[in-house]
Amino acid sequence: MLRSLYSGISGMKGFQTNLDVVGNNIANVNTSGYKKSRITFQDMMNQQIKSSNDPTAATGGTNASQVGLGSKIGSIDNVHTQGNRQNTDRTLDLALEGDGMFIVAESPTGNTDLNSAAIGFTRAGNFYLDGENRLVNSSGLFLLDTAGDAITVPEGATNLSINSQGLVSYNTEDGGLEEAGTIGLAKFSNPDGLIKNGNSTYRNTPNAGLLGEGISVPGENGTATVVSGALEMSNVDLSEEFTNMIIAQRGFQANTRIITTSDQILEELVNLKR
C-alpha cells in the first residue's frame, strides 16, 4: 500500500488530538487559575531509500534519500504564564503575583510531605470559611499555612485581612489584632512537570523540581506575593485558540486529501487490469 495513506492517517490522529487540546482551553477560558495547554508534533521514523556515500579522491559524496512515514505527538505542555487579575473586593479571593502555588490538602494537620497524593497545588484562589472557621477551597480542601496545617480563624473574629506576605489577621471581640497564620506557597523549577488532578489542582512529581524546603512564605525564596480581593483568571487567549483551531481544522482537511488522493491512485492501479 502507499506510504502516503499511513502518513495521512497519522496526521489526522495528531490534529484530532490538537483539536481536543484547543477545545479544552476554550472550555476553560473563564476558569480561575487555569493554565492553557499546547501540543507539539514530531516526525516519525523515516524509511531510507538510498544510503549516503562518503567523498573519495575520484567522486564526490552523495546524500541519503529518505521518505517520511508521518507525524506523531511530541508533547502536550502546560503553559504556566501569569493570567490577568480580576478584582473582586472579597477578602478571601486571593491572587498570586509571581511564581508559586497555593497548597491544599485533604487533612487539616500534619501536611509536610508535599509528595503525598493527598496534597494538591493550585493557582485558583477562591477560598472560603467552613463550618469550623477553617480556610478551604471550593472542593473542601484545606488551605495550608507554612507549618502544613489548615488556617483556622477563631469564632467571633472580625475584620479579616490578608497581606502580601500571606499573613492572615483578624480583630478580636475586644478590638485587639491577632494572627491566624501565614499562607504557605510551593515553588517549582519545572511546573510543567506537575500532573493535573482536576478541580483546578495539580499533583507533585519528581520532575517538577520542588524548590527550597517545600513550603515557603510568600515573597521569600522567589515565590509570589499574595493579592487579597482579586482572582487570577485563565491565561487562555481566545484569539490565539481560534487561530489554532483553524490551523488544526485545515491540517486535518489536508491529511484527508492525502488519503482520498492515494485512494484514487490505488483505484487507477486496480482498474489497470480492465
Confidence of residue 215 (pLDDT cuts 50, 70, 90): very high
Mean pLDDT of 60-82: 91
| Segments making up each domain of the chain, as ranges | 3-49+65-80+236-273, 85-232
Alpha carbon 208 to its chain centroid, in Å, reads: 12
Q: Which of 108, 180, 188 is nearest to 148 (CA)?
A: 108
Model confidence at 249: pLDDT above 90:
yes
Are 56 and 255 in contact by the 8 Å Cβ rule? The answer is no
Distance CA 146, CA 29 (A): 31
Confidence of residue 274 (pLDDT cuts 50, 70, 90): low
Q: Output Rg (C-alpha) for the chain, integer angstroms.
A: 27
Residue 211 in grid coordinates: 524548590
Mean pLDDT of 19-40: 96
Residue 109 in grid coordinates: 494537620
Segment 104-152, tens digit of pLDDT: 999 999 898 999 999 999 999 999 999 999 999 999 999 999 999 999 9
Residue 151 in grid coordinates: 488556617
State the DSSP string of 182-214.
EB-EE-BS-GGGSEEEETTEEE--GGG-B-TTS
Distance CA 203, CA 238 (A): 27
| Predicted TM-score (pTM) of this structure | 0.87
**CA distances (Å), 56 to each of 49, 52, 63, in order?**
22, 13, 14
Q: Which of 72, 198, 89 is nearest to 141 (CA)?
A: 198
Segment 155-168, tens digit of pLDDT: 888 899 999 999 99
Are 100 and 218 in contact by the 8 Å Cβ rule? The answer is yes
At 96 the pLDDT is 97
Which positions ≥6 away from 74 have C-beta within 8 Å? 40, 41, 42
At 1 the pLDDT is 60
Using the structure block, give the residue that is written with the C-alpha cell 472579597: 90
